[in-house]
């Protein structure tokens, strides 16, 4: 995934209107965070940003903390198309 992200960034290097924001830093509840607003104002008119509101509210805790049987879930999904996503979600990232 890190390689794909790096490739995506490399392809956008030549685009002056490109900014990078992530879901984790974009919203604070339903509202855009100040840093994400600053980034987005570089490429989107302020009038558009004023009307923005997230329908997806970021949870206050990490849902992964609720999972007690992570390895069992990873094993169950390992041979499915979702295996990599489950592993990425339930195992800590490599340093």
pLDDT the model gives residue 79: 92
Q: At 31, phi and psi to the nearest 5?
A: -100, 150
Full domain range(s) for residue 31: 1-58
- Together in a domain, 71 and 47: no
- Together in a domain, 71 and 82: yes
- Together in a domain, 73 and 51: no
- Together in a domain, 34 and 67: no
- Tell me the sheet residues that pair with 60: none
Per residue in 31-55, pLDDT (tens digit) is 788 898 888 888 888 777 776 666 6
pTM: 0.46
CA pair distance 77, 65, nearest whole angstrom: 19
């Amino acid at each position: 995934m890190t390689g794909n992200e790096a490739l995506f960034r490399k392809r956008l290097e030549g685009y002056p209107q490109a900014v990078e924001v992530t879901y984790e830093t974009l919203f604070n509840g339903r509202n855009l965070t100040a840093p994400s607003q600053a980034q987005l104002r570089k490429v989107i008119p302020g009038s558009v940003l004023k009307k923005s509101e997230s329908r997806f509210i970021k949870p206050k805790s990490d849902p992964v903390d609720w999972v007690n049987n992570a390895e069992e879930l990873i094993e169950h999904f390992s041979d499915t198309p979702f295996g990599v996503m489950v592993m990425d979600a339930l195992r800590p990232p490599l340093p």
